[in-house]
Amino acid sequence: MNGSAAIQTGSLLIASSLVLVTLFFSYWQKLKLEKETLISVIRAVIQLIAVGYVLNYVFGVKNPLFTTFLLLFMTFNAAYNAARGRTIRHGLAISFFSIFIGALVTLTVLLLSKTIHYEPYQMIPIGGMIISNAMVALGLCYKQMTADFKTKREEVETKLALGADIRASSIDIIRDSIKTGMLPTIDSAKTLGIVSLPGMMTGLILAGASPLEAIKYQLMVTFMLLSTTQSLHSLLAPSPTAAFLTRACR
């Protein structure tokens, strides 16, 4: 990174005083979030330091099996977090399968097009972006679907009583949950470069890459999240989940 863009430790410590604004607001409004805020900041510092040094080691390991293991480990953790707290049978397995298939298809397309190579310094960051976005999308899908089945229970029961099958009884709920999972990424793409400055593009430019190369990488990230990842993850998981919730209405 260019020396002019480097952040000095003293400057970072001064910037950390901004956390006091959050603490003051929480105390002033009696939100009782002071403890959680301090814990989150301390955890963020410790975790980033640890991950930074771990990634420095990981990127140096030129072993495809090790890279694959890390991607599977990330997928499992994302699936666990997406399904955590949901009263859905086999939620972890459904989430893992959905995220795994979506990430596999997306990364395969990127590898076959030679946009990226099976190197840890490329696969792990890009795979992490795909997997984390899938986790958020699935979490939103599950939340919306569970809420809809509670509010529309009588409607679903009526359709089932009239002889409709599981899919016909829950198709509207499935569609609403898919929309809920996809809309944040669509809205983000609409305002990309106008409201929000994309992290990858900005980081590459700060690191000295040409704006054109930085734009290419950012477009790749936007396309893979918008067109492939979100659609796959949002479509794969809701159907078996809806089937379980519909049976619960019987």
User: How far, in Å, CA of 45 to CA of 61, rounded?
Assistant: 25
Q: What is the pLDDT of residue 158?
A: 78
238 & 179 share domain = yes
CB 111 within 8 A of CB 117: yes
44 & 87 share domain = no
Q: What is the pLDDT of residue 55?
A: 78
132 & 231 share domain = yes
86 & 44 share domain = no
- CB neighbours of 204 closer than 8 A, spacing ≥ 6? 213, 214, 217
34 & 105 share domain = no
Choose the final residue of a domain: 58, 76, 95. 58
* Percent with pLDDT over 70 in the chain: 84
User: How far, in Å, CA of 35 to CA of 37, rounded?
Assistant: 5
Count the domains in the chain. Answer: 2
102 & 25 share domain = no
Q: What is the pLDDT of residue 84?
A: 81
pTM for this prediction: 0.72
138 & 203 share domain = yes
- CB neighbours of 60 closer than 8 A, spacing ≥ 6? none
Range of the domain at 233: 63-249
Neighbouring-strand partners of residue 192: 196
**What's the rounded mean pLDDT across residues 87-116?**
84
Q: What is the pLDDT of residue 248?
A: 52
94 & 21 share domain = no
What does the pLDDT look like over 20-63, one tens digit per residue?
988 998 889 888 889 989 999 999 889 888 888 887 887 777 88
102 & 194 share domain = yes
Provide DSSP, 124-144.
Answer: HHHHHHHHHHHHHHHHHHHHH
